[in-house]
Structure 1
Amino acid sequence: MKLKSILTSALAAYLLSSCGQTVKTDQTDFNNCWTFHLVKDTANFNTDYSKTDNETKNWENVRLPHTANIEPLVVNNQWQGICWYRKTFNISDYSKEKKYFIEFEGAMNIIDIWINNKHIKRDMGGYLPVTADITNHVRAKENTICVRLDNRDNPITGPKPLKILDFNMYGGLYREVNFIEKNNIYISNPSLVDIEAGGGVFITYPYVDAKMSEVKIQTHIINEGAKDKKATLKHIIRKGNEVVKEFSIDINLPNGKEGVTSCNTVSINNPSLWSPANPSLYTLQTIISDESGKEIDSQTNRFGIRKFEFKDNQLYINGEKTYLRGVNRHQEYPYIGYALSDNAQYRDAYKIKKAGFDYVRLSHYPHSPAFMDACDELGLIVVDAILGWQYYADNDEFRNQCYRSAKQLIRRDRNHPCVLAWEVSLNETKMPIEFMEVLDNIVHKEYPGENVYSCGWMPQVYDIYFQARQHRILHKDEMKFDKPYIVSEYGDWEYYSNNAGLNQHKMPKNMRVEYSSRQFRKDGEERMLRQARNVQEAHNDNMNIPATGDGYWVMFDYNRGYHDDIEASGVMDIFRIPKFAYYFYSSQRDITNDSDCILKIASYWDKNSPTDIKVYSNAEEVELRLNGRLIGRQKPDNDKNSTNLKHPPFTFKIDEFEKGELKATAFNKGEKIKEESVFTPEPPVKLDCEIDISGKELEAGCNDVAFLYISAIDRNGTVNPEYTKSINIILPDGIELMNKDEVKAEAGIATAVIRIDEERGSKKIFVNDGEISGEIDICIK
């Protein structure tokens, strides 16, 4: 990942002899030149590929991140089983006086690691880093690392078996792998040293105020040399390129693996405080030098100074009362499962922020470090979760796995300013009180001090009560508590299961689809408007209770193990294309300048369209015209489902359909600030192509993946929602199509998932359906 702790002088210099690639000393990338083998018949497989003399000539050459299996769009039978990875490498400056580590950011689920035929580590869990000290197992000449993964159902890690699971757990080395070289005096890795509230660099904020704030820096340093040493520890705090604070201290380092912890607190005058509206970040550079002044290790961490506190159970960020409008997220992409590039992770976070959300719940497992970095940058508050969903095993192996995961999660993410709370709870699972008490204690022991919060879906024990709206409707007695409260999920299940209790009565099951929030774009305007009405009603209702935030279920459509279709309650589909509900949420953000105005006509305006026109906007007034004729200029709606909304939608009534142009104009303080038009769709004449950038340009050399949107447009540039043809795509060398199925349009837009290889520069993509065509020039940096 790009913005993790940067290990400068400690990074490896190594030659990947299997592909002739030389990796320089200023990077950790260990992602190239792996070979991969998927075991087809796991039950009858007994070959031990950990032995370097076993034949692997038919293995596939891959670059990480990598998914074990390319799945179809609708995943009815996700692959589970055993797969193998292997890589050879040389360490060009090998020394017995140095330390060598390998770090896997994500490997599903049980991982076994061999170095040069020797088994060195087994781990499990799938979502948190696995780091191994390989110092005593590598050599100057060629080395071979072999990895065996097993993502079959696991009773120790949980959750429920895939066949009854509401999400998928895709296999592979699906995040980055880092090779780390250090001198024998070094800043430790918190996941390896296993020190409570310790290890590595730990940054906290004992006092936060706009005039002056304190930053506490705790650094753990190990001396594995033969003798005790003296060294200098230097900290440099920067805001951009400006040095804000710089100081050094002398330290004594006795030899041994226990290490020494240095704690230092500094004050920063007039700090720029981190918040969703102002995601201001500082950089801490930590440098260790020997007695001669030579730098022997360094590390860079980003941090943001902020204070989360609750007063009368309401959230205050840096003293300002804040309601968190949020959403839940699953981390999968179509076809490639979890194997997103770091850039793709950023693009997801960018979309969440653009959709009007300031908070995201990471459901129901730890997400990528790259996604956490993006949340820091963009100002997205995070609730960070351990793995858990409707599963508890009453044995010590399972409980200890949960305890260990909670510790490792906090040690990985504790320096991220975006983290509000730690969801050390097994979602929708009946848990013993004693179990919850241990998890809650882990949070406060691993992150001691004030303004640190655990949260869970049961009202007992945890600092913050996380309750889904459907549970609140069915179990009103659970509202009797005195603690901060966040609506963890809403807007989906209560409508899907017909227990919303508000705008719908019990109805026949065959009407469930029509009234559900689970609507595909292909289902048409009426269905997408139904979803948008549901989420408006539910979000409005959430503000009738003493909640300090809510999280809609869910941001993106996703696959799940227990059902044979895609779960479609997302405000964007699985390809990240918006539905009408997206614009409801984006319109809830206030306008700070004219470019922030949201104006969306939620209509295709064809002969089958509703004649009650919904317009989503955060403007004070909206005017609607049909073919130049004024339909009305009005304030936002004032109905029972808009009473608590910052910016209710606008509803205009038109007597009958008339082909042509609907034009909306937004006004603030009487001044026109934005216009939007919708034209009745005509037959398509062109395929219009667009690459989804979402804040990150396409990048070579990192297995970057992105969406190519292909829209069938008419002479007015209007997408024709009736268009459903298959698309032929002609890609240049260096770009790979990841779709396992044909690329077929849904509601006028077809989507290809493309992967970028090592080649930079300008390229051209051509598309056609046999009758109309299109092309796009793209630039890969």
Structure 2
Amino acid sequence: MTILQKQKTYNQQPKMRTRLSFILLLLAMNILPGFAQQVWNFNLDWRFHRGEAKGAEAVNYDDSQWEVVSTPHTVQLMPAEGSGNRNYQGVAWYRKRFRMPATKYTNGTVSLQFEAIMGKQNIYVNGKLVKEHLGGYLPITIDLTAAGVKAGDECLIAVMTDNSDDKSYPPGKKQMTLDFCYHGGIYRDVWLIEQPAVHITDAVEKGEVAGGGIFVHYANISEKSAEVYVNTDVENSLNKPQTVTVTNTLLDAAGKKIKTWTSKVTIPAKGSKTIKQGAKIQKPNLWSPENPYLYTMRTQVLANKETEKRDTKIGIRSFEFKGKDGFWLNGKRYRQFMGANRHQDFAYVGNALPNSQQRRDVQRLKDCGFNLIRVAHYPQDPAFMDACDELGIFIIVATPGWQYWNKDPKFAELVHQNTRDIIRRDRNHPCVLMWEPILNETRYPEKFALEALQITKDEYPYPYRPVAAADLHSAGVLENYDVVYAWPGDDEKTDGLELKAQQLNKNMLTREYGELVDDWYAHNNLNRASRSWGEIPQLKQALSLSNTTRDQHRTTGLFLGGCQWHPFDHQRGYHPDPYWGGNFDAFRQPKTSYYMFNSQIPVTEGEPMVYIAHEMGQFSENDVVVFSNCDSVRLSIFDGEKSWTLPVEKYGEADRPYNAPVVFKDVWDFWQAREYSYKQRNWQKVNLVAEGIINGKVVATTKRMPSRRSTKLRMYADERDRKLVADGSDFIVVVCEVTDDSGNVRRLAKEQIKFTVEGPAEIIGDGTDIGANPRQAEWGSAPILLRSTTTPGKIKIHADVLYPGTHSPTPCDLEVESVPADCQFVRGLGIDASSKAKVSGSASSSNSSSKQISDEEKQRMLQEVQDQQADFGVTK
């Protein structure tokens, strides 16, 4: 983990943490005096213009009429249903005028790091082009010192971004035939960093095989001991050789010193040297998804009485893929993988998620019981990776690419460079289990596949190397790659490549499961249900996913499980409908399938749970489905007038089984319920109670009642364990529900909810035409995205129906509080109150640059995608 990642505001700690823990956190983040680099948050006060702007790189260019925005930023806010190549594609400009803050080090260097900018970019410093870059998912660093910028100088940064179709660099595929979106903009964080003249290098910028930066690796790991090694690459930017003391200290989770290594070396003038240290430690606390224990490697470089310090979070773990003996973690056979894929798409803002939402997504995936995430189809935000380390989920990191191959050799070179940079960026994360260094669902030459594999070995030449994974049927993969993507049952086939894979003792994993489309063009699918469609579609989705999830729970050894496609609803390029197959909608509101996955977490790892997937409405099914991780479930109706007890059928591994849905036949009868509520006026008796039973004892209980008339509004903030941070970029989801007198959500309510906010926050998309405010209630709720300002404090949200009346639901209020950001900011110059009033975060959807093409051309393009997916078994 780099200092930039630790500076991130998603590390804001809950109030219940002790003062000691908070101090240790600050130490780890290098915020207390005397610790390391100076790092400034550079996200605030960018001027933004969507479209061409001739001469916008010039210092004297008039940008006073441009919007004022904060990064992470998207070039265009989109409606929650904005799929089908409707998002803006083209040029957009960002400009920020600032004064270089006071520096700390003598002859230090100052750089600007963009965590990612979508598409291709030209970056200018004071009107001069300093970098051209291709690709939208990896960091870009600008050396401001080399550009002549000094402390106290007024400086202009101008960035031209372009997310237009461009086949010359990966992914390369036209968005109108793409299964996701190239949402544009500076959509991840921007940081200003000062380092001393003698400093630790950046692994991506150094561009050295298995080199640069800090590289922590291991050997001979067991429960008794482990060998921990750290390579520290130090650069001397001065004209004279420098004597340097490099100290690495291993700290446990409580901050206690475990081991210290110190080396004294001489770094040549204008040169660099890698210092290698390491030793054996006793009784290591081993990292796993069930025990995500993190140590800290504290690196200190002392030269000329100036010290640079870095903290790298690490996890010590061993793993091995043993073919028929399965996957082994920390010396023991590990359970099946129950995983998912993840796109970074979110409602309205596209890819522009703050760090807190990256972490909340990992928490949501963990709550689904997933222990493996395949990132689709590109490297994720560093904050997402940090959260996977901390919360405990393995990761397959994919190089950018999907269904496209360009025969120009430069294209393959760019793919390989992406892979190298991904490994250099993510190699210290204990969560990384596999690299996917090829192009997904793409026919590429064998030479390319073998080169990609060799890169993973060259860039990580040490034991416990994350392995390489790719499709079984792709050229060069079966005989050479460590893990192959296949299907349940392929480990038992008696012919073809599947049989050869068995003979080669290859472990198999399903990279994407759950898709059961009627035909590719229509994309009707049991797995896909918009939350707005209500009870029955969501239930059928949950049951369909339950069946395909059960298929992944095989215990043959070779087959290791699979990854659901896809736990979050998201926008797509080639289809007018968003992908509705998520366990959460695009706002991260749970669907019924979430509770099915949540029931897969055994009580040894979580809590006993029982969930009634039934609304007791006039359209509800007669059967009642219950999801639970208990031994059995007792279901009672009408205050216990009738009850039934059924076992929770379990499949697969005994210690981590798949828990099948419990189906109680012919329980619900609307007309019988009507007898109590209408004729007997005893509506309170109309209820369902489910009790989860383990070893004969009731350990979990839930009650369900049908909703009556809509009478009230109720709000909650989906903060989880992270408060809203006053950094100008952070946001939380606030949900307003329509309820009856008893608090039951009125699922079929169709109210339009109008939100108003008092205090230091704003509603994303307020005043635009994307349907953000007022928001139509769907399945009983209406969400908004509430974004902070840079002022911490209390925020009052008021919700009311758009057209109130005597019998309309009564309004409600909610108060949340934003907390100070633990970082220092570099503000923009010339940003006054009047210009800030124009801040909208992005523009409305009315200015899309989507191209209109003939029906024949559309059919040709879509047929290409369909053929490609069929080629890789996606329609299987």
In structure 2, relative to structure 1, the CA distance for the partners of 1:306 and 1:271 (3 Å cut) is same
| Distance across 2 between alignment mates of 1:54 and 1:107 | 22
1:81 aligned partner, one-letter code: G
1:615 corresponds to 2:629: no
Tell me the equivalent position of 2:592: 580
| Distance across 2 between alignment mates of 1:407 and 1:747 | 45
Q: TM-score, normalised by structure 2?
A: 0.82
Alignment match of 1:283 (pick from 290, 296, 301): 296
- Correspondence list, 1:634-649, <5 A: 634-637=646-649, 645-649=657-661
Contact in 1 for aligned 2:4/2:191 (Cα 8 Å): no
Tell me the equivalent position of 2:706: 680
1:743 corresponds to 2:781: no
Q: Secondary structure at the match of 1:727?
A: strand
1:467 corresponds to 2:468: no
In structure 2, relative to structure 1, the CA distance for the partners of 1:3 and 1:636 (3 Å cut) is farther
- Correspondence list, 1:277-676, <5 A: 277-290=290-303, 294-313=305-324, 314-322=326-334, 323-452=336-465, 453-459=467-473, 460=477, 461-467=480-486, 477-480=496-499, 481=501, 482=504, 483-492=506-515, 495-497=516-518, 513=524, 516-544=526-554, 546-592=558-604, 596-627=607-638, 628-637=640-649, 645-655=657-667, 656-657=669-670, 658-659=672-673, 660-676=686-702
| Distance across 2 between alignment mates of 1:707 and 1:356 | 22
Alignment match of 2:57 (pick from 36, 39, 50): 50
Q: Secondary structure at the match of 2:422?
A: helix
Tell me the equivalent position of 2:798: 766
| Distance across 2 between alignment mates of 1:592 and 1:471 | 31
Task: Quote the offset at 1:472 in angstroms.
Answer: 10
Single out whichever of 696-705 and 273-282 deviates more from structure 2: 696-705
| Distance across 2 between alignment mates of 1:181 and 1:369 | 20
Task: Quote the offset at 1:139 in angstroms.
Answer: 3.0
Q: TM-score, normalised by structure 1?
A: 0.91
Tell me the equivalent position of 1:754: 786
- Correspondence list, 1:72-151, <5 A: 72-75=79-82, 76=84, 77-93=86-102, 97-137=107-147, 138-140=149-151, 141-151=153-163
Gaps of 5+ in 1: 14-23, 40-44, 500-508
| Distance across 1 between alignment mates of 2:240 and 2:3 | 35
Contact in 1 for aligned 2:759/2:796 (Cα 8 Å): no
| Distance across 1 between alignment mates of 2:7 and 2:496 | 49
Contact in 1 for aligned 2:527/2:581 (Cα 8 Å): yes
Q: Secondary structure at the match of 2:658?
A: coil
Tell me the equivalent position of 1:506: none
Gaps of 5+ in 2: 9-25, 674-685, 820-876
Aligned residues: 747
Alignment match of 2:751 (pick from 725, 729, 734): 725
Contact in 1 for aligned 2:37/2:308 (Cα 8 Å): no
- RMSD over equivalenced CA pairs, Å: 2.7
Contact in 1 for aligned 2:583/2:592 (Cα 8 Å): yes
In structure 2, relative to structure 1, the CA distance for the partners of 1:360 and 1:755 (3 Å cut) is same
* Identical amino acids, percent of aligned pairs: 30
Task: Quote the offset at 1:46 in angstroms.
Answer: 5.9
Q: Secondary structure at the match of 1:136?
A: coil
Tell me the equivalent position of 2:5: 4
In structure 2, relative to structure 1, the CA distance for the partners of 1:419 and 1:714 (3 Å cut) is same
Residues 456-493 of structure 1 show CA distances to partners (whole Å, capped at 9, x for unaligned) of: 1244232211236799999984423131211000012x
Tell me the equivalent position of 2:682: none
| Distance across 1 between alignment mates of 2:367 and 2:114 | 31
Task: Quote the offset at 1:247 in angstroms.
Answer: 2.6
Q: Secondary structure at the match of 2:281?
A: strand
| Distance across 1 between alignment mates of 2:297 and 2:651 | 51
Residues 506-558 of structure 1 show CA distances to partners (whole Å, capped at 9, x for unaligned) of: xxx99x74x52111122222222221221122122233464212100111011
- Correspondence list, 1:692-711, <5 A: 692-711=718-737
Tell me the equivalent position of 2:834: none
Task: Quote the offset at 1:734 in angstroms.
Answer: 2.2
2:783 aligned partner, one-letter code: T
Q: Secondary structure at the match of 1:454?
A: strand
Tell me the equivalent position of 1:156: 168
1:648 aligned partner, one-letter code: A
In structure 2, relative to structure 1, the CA distance for the partners of 1:441 and 1:702 (3 Å cut) is farther
Residues 436-466 of structure 1 show CA distances to partners (whole Å, capped at 9, x for unaligned) of: 1111100000011233201112442322112
Single out whichever of 60-69 and 644-653 deviates more from structure 2: 644-653
1:241 corresponds to 2:255: yes
Q: Secondary structure at the match of 2:240?
A: coil
Task: Quote the offset at 1:637 in angstroms.
Answer: 4.0
| Distance across 2 between alignment mates of 1:115 and 1:225 | 23
| Distance across 2 between alignment mates of 1:612 and 1:415 | 50
Task: Quote the offset at 1:498 in angstroms.
Answer: 6.2
Tell me the equivalent position of 2:679: none
In structure 2, relative to structure 1, the CA distance for the partners of 1:571 and 1:247 (3 Å cut) is same
- Correspondence list, 1:7-22, <5 A: none
Task: Quote the offset at 1:702 in angstroms.
Answer: 4.7
In structure 2, relative to structure 1, the CA distance for the partners of 1:471 and 1:342 (3 Å cut) is farther
In structure 2, relative to structure 1, the CA distance for the partners of 1:227 and 1:25 (3 Å cut) is closer
| Distance across 2 between alignment mates of 1:414 and 1:54 | 42
Residues 244-263 of structure 1 show CA distances to partners (whole Å, capped at 9, x for unaligned) of: 11231111111123x10111
Task: Quote the offset at 1:762 in angstroms.
Answer: 2.0
Q: Secondary structure at the match of 1:731?
A: strand
- Correspondence list, 1:163-178, <5 A: 163-178=176-191
Q: Secondary structure at the match of 1:4?
A: helix
Alignment match of 1:32 (pick from 37, 44, 58): 44
Contact in 1 for aligned 2:600/2:658 (Cα 8 Å): yes
